[in-house]
A and B are shown apart, each in its own frame.
Chain A
């Protein structure tokens, strides 16, 4: 095989035969993926992570398609079941660094129950949830995180439901690290993901993303730059935010920051402790 030619600094982490991605022009997911790869790259350069032990899992959706483009071991599983698959892999081989990526529909909607119980058990996983407020791949249907009053394909008169705040939900359980970042501030995604890679237990990062095609156009934003600027206006970064402030609302603003950082014993540590006692 011919020698692969790397041009972009992140090319060695990508499967170049699958680039360009299938994402629409201006999609925020690529920004999130690049930031995550930068954090992983610096961890690998430090020597604290072995690239052969990194394992990506994705369910169904645009965000979960990310596992197709990374040059690591990856699995593409059924809708919403990325977290159980990753738990199985981690329990079989606790040395794995499992990274679960998925959208809000995949992780909070279809797989919501799995998210609850993985966070309750504090399993050694990193879950990165990309919130773009709709089910984007299937055409922009209403999702559990869609803000109230927003017009989508299935709610043409405005969404009547109250949205779900996944950060508050996971914080109420036993997760070790909970943060929220936005694709308009990619440095924070990199910083939080870098920090999450060095911790144990259940780590949850919500990345607020922009979907210019099926979310932005339906609310009257005509191009990706408008969508990006509109999201940038609504994001408020609070470095030391408390969990009560973790609002995610299209009108009142989206608060980003680190909300939980604690060192509870992880599931695998508890299992090993019990086994040694027996």
Chain B
């Protein structure tokens, strides 16, 4: 399936003053590597269940995010990424 412009993809997105962490919920396979590699423990497992039956991580402590992108680099399923918030 191609994602048309109109479809709403299931995203978990949290923003701090510096960084935005986005989890694409339906791509996650709950391997737990992102939670293990995060040096400041931003991520924790969520209660929601995606369409394949896995529980994706949730960036709860987003204020601690330092933008190292280790979660993005170590995600095997292209399910999480970090963006810098543009400072005005």
B-contacting residues of A (Cβ < 8 Å)? Answer: 1-5, 7-11, 14, 16-17, 19-21, 23-31, 34-35, 186-187, 212, 223-225, 228-229
Contact = CB atoms under 8 A, between A and B. Distances in A.
Contact of A31 (B24, B54, B73): B73
11 contacts: A2-B4, A3-B5, A7-B9, A8-B81, A9-B81, A21-B76, A28-B76, A31-B75, A34-B75, A224-B32, A225-B31
Interface of B: 1-7, 9, 11, 22, 24, 26-27, 29-33, 35-37, 52, 54, 73-79, 81
A3 B27 CA distance: 20
B74 to A, nearest CB: 6
A16 B2 contact: yes
Q: Please classify the interface of chain B as helix (H, G, I), strand (E, B), loop, or mixed, using the class held by over half of its residues.
A: loop
Contact of A30 (B1, B32, B52, B78): B78
B54 A25 contact: yes
Contact of A1 (B2, B31, B54, B76): B2
A30 B77 contact: yes
Given A7-B11, A7-B24, A27 B76 contact: yes
A5 B7 contact: yes
A34 B9 contact: no
B29 A20 contact: yes
Nearest to A187: B73
A23 B76 CA distance: 9
B2 A17 contact: yes
A34 B79 CA distance: 11
Given A3-B5, A31-B74, A26 B81 contact: no
Contacts of A10: 78
A82 B66 CA distance: 42
